[in-house]
Amino acid sequence: MTAKIASGVLALALSAAAVTAGSAIAQPGRLGGGPPGGGGGVLPILLRSANLTPEQDAKVKEMVATRRAAMRALWQQMRDAEDELASKLLAPGTVHLADVQPQLQRIAQLRDQQLRESTQAALAIRALLTPEQIARAAQTNERVRQLQRELRQLERGGS
């Protein structure tokens, strides 16, 4: 596998959180994904750059719809676990790492589960693409990464 294709696969896996939210691909004007009500992702951009056929597009939308409910439940569990951690951290008295360790473990477990689910979704989408489409997505991913680096430089006051 070439570096560009590997980069595209990695981008698909990492940005597959857009798939987990569900409707990001179905909503052309929306760049995001991730947790319902927020987040962002580049998966819709990568898929647009791959020039999906109508059949591929329909299959991607079907995959998104299939995973939507499960991923919403995972995001809710994550929010609940983070709320529980915040409550412990803000409770009166002294709080030690051992006091919040169960919440940290739960959050880590949920993040791992989200990453595995997102990666499975990305792999399923990738299986629909031709090598040329993967290469186009990899090129777009590299351009997005370049733009992100430029933005970070600007935020730090660089030129």
Check pLDDT > 50 for residue 152.
yes
Evaluate the CA torsion angle 25, 26, 32, 33 in order and state its sign.
Answer: negative
Summarised one tens digit per residue, pLDDT across range 52-82 is 999 999 999 999 888 888 899 999 999 999 9
**Two structure tokens written together for 130:** 């031709």
Summarised one tens digit per residue, pLDDT across range 88-101 is 999 999 999 999 99
Cβ-Cβ contacts under 8 Å for 93 (sequence gap 6 or more): none
pTM equals 0.66
